[in-house]
Amino acid sequence: MHSVNAGDDDRTARARIRDAAIACFAARGVDGTSLKAIAEEAEVSQGLILHHFGTKKGLRTACDEYAVATIQESKTSVMGAGPQVDPLAAMRADSDGPPVMEYLARTLADGSPEVAALVDGIVEAADAALAEGVKSGMLKPIDQPREVAIVLTLWSLGLLALHRHAERLLGVDIIGPPEERARYVRIAMEALGRGLFTDEAYQHARDALAAPDEERRS
C-alpha cells in the first residue's frame, strides 16, 4: 500500500510527482496549478510533495532542472549529426516522458534562472552552428554572427512560446514530431534562406540603418 510504487507505474513517487507537476504546469501554468491537483495527478498525498521538494518553489525548480536536462540531452545527441540551422530542431522531447516542450513553452516567458541558462546554452549552440555553416560554405558570411544567433534563437523559442497561435494560424504543431514541423521549416527556409529583400532594396535599407551614431563590430 505505502510502497514506493503505485499501480503498474514503476517510476519512483518522486519522479511521478515531478512528471505530474510538469504536466499540470504545462497545461495550466505554475500559478494556476495547486499542490492538490498535482497530488491527485501523481496519485500521492499532498504532504508527500512537500516532503520531497520542500516548497512549491522547490518543486518548480526541480521541474526546471529536469526539463533543462532533458532538452540538453536530446540537444547534444542531435548535435552530433551536424550543425543545425533551426535551433528548435535540436530540441525534441521524448514522446513517452512528461510534456517538457509544453512546459518550457509556458515557462520561457516568466524567466527562471534555470531556463535562462538553457536559453543561453541554445544561443551558444546556434552561434557555433552558424560559424560552422559559414566555414563550410553553406551560409554567407555574417556581419554580426552572435547577434544573429541570438535573434534566430529567440525567434524559434518565441514561436515555441506562441505555439498555440502557430497551430491556429498555420495548422502546424511545432511541438509535435519532425514530420509535423516540416511545413514550418519550409516557410522559415523561404524567409531566412534566400532573404526577402531584393538586392538593391537590401543595400538601400542597410545603408539607411548603418548611418546611426555608433558602430558595433567584432
Contacts with DNA in 40-69 (CB under 7 A)? 44-48, 50-52, 54-57
Length of the chain: 218
C-alpha cell at 185: 521549416
User: Does 73 participate in binding a second copy (rule CB under 8 A)?
Assistant: no
With the C-alpha atoms ordered 169, 173, 174, 178, is the resulting torsion angle positive or negative?
negative
Work out which of 13, 100, 125, 166 binds a second copy, going by CB under 8 A: 166
Name the one range near DNA by CB under 7 A: 34-42, 80-88, 181-189, 210-218.
34-42
Interior angle at CA 154, CA 74 and CA 165, nearest 5: 90
Q: How many CB atoms lie within 10 A of CB 72?
A: 17
User: Does 1 participate in binding DNA (rule CB under 7 A)?
Assistant: yes
Binding footprint of DNA, residue count (CB under 7 A): 25
Q: Give 47 or 195: the residue with its C-beta nearer to DNA.
A: 47
User: Does 37 participate in binding DNA (rule CB under 7 A)?
Assistant: yes
Q: Give 48 or 128: the residue with its C-beta nearer to DNA.
A: 48
CA–CA gap between residue 191 and residue 4 (Å, rounded): 52
Closest to 152 in 3D by CA, of 105, 109, 211, 89: 89
Is residue 106 within 8 Å of 137, Cβ to Cβ? no
User: Does 2 participate in binding a second copy (rule CB under 8 A)?
Assistant: no
Residues in 91-150 at the binding interface with DNA, rule: CB under 7 A: none
Work out which of 38, 100, 160, 175 binds a second copy, going by CB under 8 A: 160
Is residue 89 within 8 Å of 82, Cβ to Cβ? no
CA distances from 89 to 46, 66, 76 (A): 37, 19, 12
Work out which of 4, 9, 12, 32 binds a second copy, going by CB under 8 A: 32
Work out which of 65, 74, 155, 173 binds a second copy, going by CB under 8 A: 155
Residue 57 contact, options DNA, a second copy, none, Cβ 5-8 Å cut-off depending on partner type: DNA
Closest to 101 in 3D by CA, of 110, 109, 93, 112: 93
Work out which of 45, 109, 135, 177 binds a second copy, going by CB under 8 A: 109
CA–CA gap between residue 90 and residue 21 (Å, rounded): 24
User: Does 8 participate in binding DNA (rule CB under 7 A)?
Assistant: no
Name the one range near a second copy by CB under 8 A: 1-9, 36-44, 51-59, 184-192.
184-192
> Given the rule CB under 7 A, which residues bind DNA?
1-4, 6, 12-14, 33-37, 44-48, 50-52, 54-57
